[in-house]
Structure 1
Amino acid sequence: MFETAIKLTELPWATVLTLAAGYCGYFVAHVGARSHHQTADVVFGTLAFGFWGLFAYQYFQAPDRLNLGPVPASVSGFAVSIGLGGAWSGFGRRWFDRFLRRIGVTLRDDCPSAWAALGRDPNVVMTQLTVKLSCGDIYLTDDLSRFKDMPNGPCTFGGAGDMIMFVTHVCYADSEVFEGVDMSAAEKLGYEATYIPKEQIARVEFRQTRRASLLRRANWRRIM
Structure 2
Amino acid sequence: MQELLSLSWQTQAVLIGGYLAYVIAYSGRRMNHRAFDAFAIVLVFGGFSLISLSILDSALGDNHWKHQISGVVSVVFPCLIAIAWRRFLKDWVSDKINLLAGAQEDGLPTAWDTVIQTQDVAYCQLIVSLKDGRSLESFPLGDYNDLPNGPCVLGSDGSVAMYVTHIFEKNESRPATEITNDLGSRLTYIPADQIAEVDFRREARRK
Does the Cα contact within 8 Å between 1:111 and 1:117 map onto a contact in 2? yes
2:176 alignment counterpart: 181
Q: Which runs of 5+ in 1 are unaligned?
A: 214-224
Q: Which aligned segments of 4 or more residues in structure 1 are displaced greater than 3 angstroms?
A: none
Q: Which residue of 2 aligns with 1:216?
A: none
Structure 1 residue aligned with 2:140: 143
One-letter identity of the residue aligned with 1:199: D
Structure 2 CA distance for aligned equivalents of residues 27 and 56 of structure 1: 20
The residue type paired with residue 162 of structure 2 is M
Distance across 1 between alignment mates of 2:190 and 2:118: 24
> 199-208 vs 156-165, which deviates more?
156-165
> Could you tell me how far apart the structure 2 residues matched to 1:101 and 1:85 are?
21
Instruction: Tell me the TM-score normalized by structure 1.
Output: 0.85
Q: Which amino acid aligns with 2:30?
A: R
Higher relative contact order (CA 8 A, sep 6+): 2
1:198 maps to what in 2?
192
User: 1:58–1:73: 8 Å Cα contact kept in structure 2?
Assistant: no
Where does residue 75 of structure 2 map in the other structure? Answer: 78
Number of residue equivalences: 204
* TM-score using structure 2 length: 0.91
| Post-superposition CA distance 1:87-136 (Å, at most 9, x none) | 11112111111111221353212111111112323312222111111111
Shift of 1:26: 0.5
In structure 2, the residue matched to 1:18 is 14
Aligned to 1:115: 112
Unaligned segments of structure 2, at least 5 residues? none
Q: CA deviation at 1:152?
A: 2.9
Hey, which of these two has a bigger chunk of strand by percent?
A: 2
Q: CA 1:154–1:23 in structure 2 vs 1: closer, same or farther (change >3 Å)?
A: same
Report the more deviating stretch, 142-151 or 25-34.
142-151
When residues 105 and 14 of structure 1 are mapped into structure 2, their CA distance, relative to the original with a 3 A threshold, is farther
Q: Let me know the Cα RMSD of the aligned residues.
A: 1.6
Q: Distance in 1 between matches of 2:37 and 2:163?
A: 35
User: Aligned-pair distance for 1:209?
Assistant: 1.6
Question: Is 1:88 paired with 2:82?
Answer: no
What secondary structure sits across from 2:182 in the alignment? Answer: helix
Identical columns (%): 29
- Cα distance in 2, alignment partners of residues 128 and 179 from structure 1: 17
